[in-house]
Amino acid sequence: MPTVLLKASSPNEKDQLFEVSSGEILFDQIEKLGRVLPHGCLAGSCGSCRIEILDGQDNLSSPSPVEKDTITHLEKTHPQKIIRLSCRVRILGDFTFRPLK
């Protein structure tokens, strides 16, 4: 089973390590384990569930056309970051991420 490291986004938080099922959507897996990530539509259109991939981007599914379109718009305000949507990305192996504001 892959492990996913959620890096703290503030000094008041701690990093969290989750063991998740391969092939599943990140948002669903993290929620099932008791942690809810920021979200909105859960369809890949609004971008509220954007995350920054810090390590292991090759261990994620390729973006769908809807996710790719949303990411293209988000990259304008977050240059040089690897952005994915937690409601759309499927886990294929270990990776590290944090919510992106």
Domain residue limits, the chain:
3-99
In whole angstroms, give the CA distance from residue 15 to residue 24.
Answer: 21
Contact 66, 44 (CB under 8 A): yes
Fold observed for domain 3-99 = Ubiquitin-like (UB roll) (3.10.20)
The string of pLDDT tens digits covering residues 3-62 is: 999 999 888 999 999 999 999 999 999 999 999 999 999 999 999 999 999 999 999 999
Q: In this model, does residue 101 exceed pLDDT 90?
A: no
Q: Give the three-class secondary structure for 55.
A: strand
pTM: 0.94
pLDDT at 9: 83
Question: Rounded to a whole number, what is the distance in angstroms from the first to the last CA of the chain?
Answer: 29
The string of pLDDT tens digits covering residues 73-95 is: 999 999 999 999 999 999 999 99
